[in-house]
Chain A
Amino acid sequence: MNIRELILNPDNFFKDLSSKESSLTTPFLIVLALSVLNSIYTYYETSIIFNLFPPDMQSKMSIIMIFSIVSSFIGGFISWLLIAGVMHLISMAFKGEGPFKRTLGFIGYGFLPNLIGSLITILVGYYFLSNAQVPTLTMEQLQNPTVAEEVISSIIPKTMVYTNLLINIAVILWNLGLWTYGIKYARDLELKKAFIVALIPVVLFLIYQIYGVIKML
């Protein structure tokens, strides 16, 4: 895989790739690395947040932590399948041609920005959360959503939220670029049609991201 070509000239990269036999190994490794990074970040963040809980609840919280890590890990693969599936379906409306395996592979390459974004997000998270002093709350306080939200927002500063939002927007826009060229050559579409196909899941994802940020603020 020529990463430089994928970043600087995705059109050429996918064009070359379309002439070869499709392989899922490299996209799988990209998504796998992304899932591992997401799991690490989930572990780090939840282990800090879980300090809010009283000591007698810490053992129960470890089960939730394992669930969150596994979810983050599987989430990457599910997103890959889901986005590839949605694009494949939408491209049918534009009379796109090509096997799903190729769509899956090309969309997988498009997760490279997420991998870079995750690396930056982990560093930013460590920068903000490494010195955070997390108070232990009582059960009554934890059951009060206002209190819990206030405490979490006091631990996670607004600057961190804004920084992550910027990184996520950048990643999504980059995804749009890569997936446009990816679906173009995977389904043999015109550039404009490919752009529309890629735009629909990206917009949905972007709306979800902005909603999450608004909720945090």
Chain B
Amino acid sequence: MKKLLIFILFLFFLLLINPINAVEFTGIDYKNEYLEPGKTYDLWVIITPEKEINNTVIGVSPYGVGSEYIQIIKGRDYEGNLLQSEKGVGHFIIHIKEDAPSKDYNILAYCNYTKDGKKYSDNRIFEIPIRGKPTLTVENPSVINEGINRIYIKIKNKGTGIAQNIKIKFEEGNNIYALSEGYIKYLKPGKTGTVEIKVYGENSGIAKLPYTLTYSNPYNDLQLVDKRETESRKSKTITYNYKNQKTVEESGNLIFKIIPNDAIDLNVKDCSFPVGKVNNFTLSIKNNYKDSKFTVIIGKYYIGNNQKTLSINYGEIKNITFNIKVEEMGVKEIPVRIIFGGNEIERNISVNIIGKVDLVLTGVNVEGITEKTITGDLSNIGTDKAKSVLISVKKTERVIPLRPYENYFIGTLNPDDYGSFELHAKVINETDSIPIVIQYRDENNNLIKIEKNISIKNLINPNQSQENNDYIPLIIGILFIVGVLFLLYWNFFKKNKKIIIKNNKNNREV
């Protein structure tokens, strides 16, 4: 045990006195502040040997999560013989994958060499910072009307980094003028922002609106602009000139087609619909443009087909109907796209989705013959609430309401709610039903009256349904009495007569 411990200490001492690294990794260079996803870069690794080395090969490989996002295109560089303190520069080509998230990645640099006839290998891990760069695109509606338009410009970040302080400014255009500017605080990669811009279309035709889009990177973005080499007798100097591209400015033109302001008149036939029901959404289109084929597309709430095509001649008005169903109450916007004659317009049609009161009588019971007591429930099976609900007996020639319950106040009935009631009435002439009036106020305080009839048919004459064929027992009764009368006649008269005749015959024979 003691010998083993001395041996381990001896090995440790040997490691301490023999230096492991004969090569020093002096630096790594990629000529940029940051590396961007989707781009290919040259990479240089510089080594300085402490002693002369031979068969020197320098290489790089991604390390850790970097292997997922860093692709090595050229990863080995042969340097051969290097004298003591002679710098060796290995050149490599790497590609940063498109989906590389912004962070610092590790890359392993290694050097294989021979020294004194023996093979050695040293390595070092370097950090390379990868930062995404935003790339913005601008989309504008292709068609606007003559005059002032409120348009929405979509700015999409198709890059890999966040864009900050996005501003869009416009210059005076050809046949079009911008009346406002747009600003978005930031846009993450893959996200789209919308800015509302007021533009003035001068005349119908094609219009071009120049714009300047400025935005900034969250990081410094040093781009190599210039490289100069100056050589003297003793030394060679290389000067790199960088430009910080943190703030980006891009220019372009937005192209519009300006159509006459009154190319079409678009109206909606009915803009109030009950919630939760399939309704007919009818649009009325008047063509002020020219004979064209119109394709109408609605973007929301449709049931079944949301696209219909029809031909409308100049000056003609035609209706087009879609089925819609909206599950929420309130004012809703239905986007409508109309494509005609190579033009396309988009409008949002506002519809008011309202609840509907639906009151039904349930559990109605009528007691009494002439003086009726009607009890039951009034249930709201609709989607809107009924306020100030009052139920009353309607006075007619046959029915007179009776106090104290000639009417009954139920109050507010919310959807899926019910209220009990009691009504008293007197039937002065025979009738099959008692007329009831239900009145309530809707959400807009409109007074609504509904009349319903409560049947009292069964109560007045429970056997009325049998009246039609109840002569059969009566006929049986008549037959029974006829039979009995015949029996009595037979017993009292005919039989006695027969006996008398029989006696007379006997007397004659005697």
Chain A residues with CB under 8 Å of chain B are 7-11, 113, 117, 120, 123-124, 127-128, 131-138, 141, 147, 150-151, 154-155, 157, 159-160, 162-167, 169-171, 173-174, 176-177, 181
Give me 15 other A-B pairs in contact (C-beta within 8 A), A136-B367, A150-B369, A169-B481 excluded.
A8-B487, A131-B466, A133-B459, A134-B462, A135-B459, A138-B367, A141-B367, A141-B368, A157-B463, A159-B473, A164-B477, A167-B477, A170-B483, A173-B481, A174-B488
- Interface 0/1 of B471-504, CB less than 8 Å to A: 1111011101101110110111001000000000
CB pair B484–A174 under 8 Å, yes or no, is yes
Q: Which residues of B contact A11 (CB under 8 A)?
A: 491, 495
CB pair B473–A170 under 8 Å, yes or no, is no
Contact of B474 among A8, A117, A166, A173 (CB under 8 A): A166
Q: Which of B370, B371, B463, B481 has the most CB of A within 10 A?
A: B463
Q: Which residue of B lies closest to A7 (CB)?
A: B487
CB pair A155–B495 under 8 Å, yes or no, is no
A-B residue pairs in contact (CB < 8 Å), sample of 7? A9-B491, A10-B491, A124-B476, A134-B462, A135-B462, A167-B480, A181-B491
CB pair A154–B463 under 8 Å, yes or no, is yes
For the residues of B in contact with A, the DSSP-based class is helix
Bound CA–CA A155/B461 (angstroms): 7
B96 shortest CB reach to chain A, Å = 88
Q: Which residues of B contact A128 (CB under 8 A)?
A: 463, 466, 470, 473
Q: Which residues of A contact B366 (CB under 8 A)?
A: 135
Interface presence of B239 (CB below 8 A): no
Which residues of B in the span 82-107 have a Cβ within 8 Å of any Cβ on A? none
Interface presence of B460 (CB below 8 A): yes
Interface presence of B373 (CB below 8 A): yes
Bound CA–CA A10/B490 (angstroms): 11
CB pair B368–A166 under 8 Å, yes or no, is no
Give the contact-size bracket for chain B.
35 or more
Q: Which residue of B lies closest to A156 (CB)?
A: B463
Bound CA–CA A176/B459 (angstroms): 42
Interface presence of B458 (CB below 8 A): yes
Bound CA–CA A155/B369 (angstroms): 12
Interface presence of B467 (CB below 8 A): yes
Q: Which residues of A contact B463 (CB under 8 A)?
A: 128, 131-132, 154-155, 157
Chain B residues with CB under 8 Å of chain A are 366-371, 373, 458-463, 465-467, 470-474, 476-478, 480-481, 483-485, 487-488, 490-492, 495
Q: Which residues of A contact B371 (CB under 8 A)?
A: 141
CB pair A159–B488 under 8 Å, yes or no, is no
CB pair B369–A166 under 8 Å, yes or no, is no
Q: Which residues of B contact A8 (CB under 8 A)?
A: 487, 490-491
Q: A120-B480, A166-B478 are in contact. Are A133 and B462 (CB under 8 A)?
A: yes
CB pair B481–A170 under 8 Å, yes or no, is yes
Q: Which residues of B contact A162 (CB under 8 A)?
A: 474, 477
Q: Which residues of B contact A173 (CB under 8 A)?
A: 481, 484-485, 488
Q: A8-B490, A154-B461 are in contact. Are A166 and B477 (CB under 8 A)?
A: yes
Q: Which residue of B lies closest to A174 (CB)?
A: B484
Contact of A170 among B465, B472, B484, B491 (CB under 8 A): B484
Q: Which residues of B contact A147 (CB under 8 A)?
A: 368-370
Q: Which residue of A lies closest to B484 (CB)?
A: A170
CB pair B471–A166 under 8 Å, yes or no, is no
Bound CA–CA A164/B470 (angstroms): 13
CB pair B369–A141 under 8 Å, yes or no, is yes
Q: Which residues of A contact B460 (CB under 8 A)?
A: 154
Q: Which residues of B contact A164 (CB under 8 A)?
A: 477
CB pair B476–A120 under 8 Å, yes or no, is yes
Q: Which residues of A contact B467 (CB under 8 A)?
A: 157, 159
Bound CA–CA A190/B500 (angstroms): 16
Q: Which residues of A contact B458 (CB under 8 A)?
A: 133
CB pair A113–B368 under 8 Å, yes or no, is no
CB pair B476–A163 under 8 Å, yes or no, is yes
CB pair B477–A155 under 8 Å, yes or no, is no
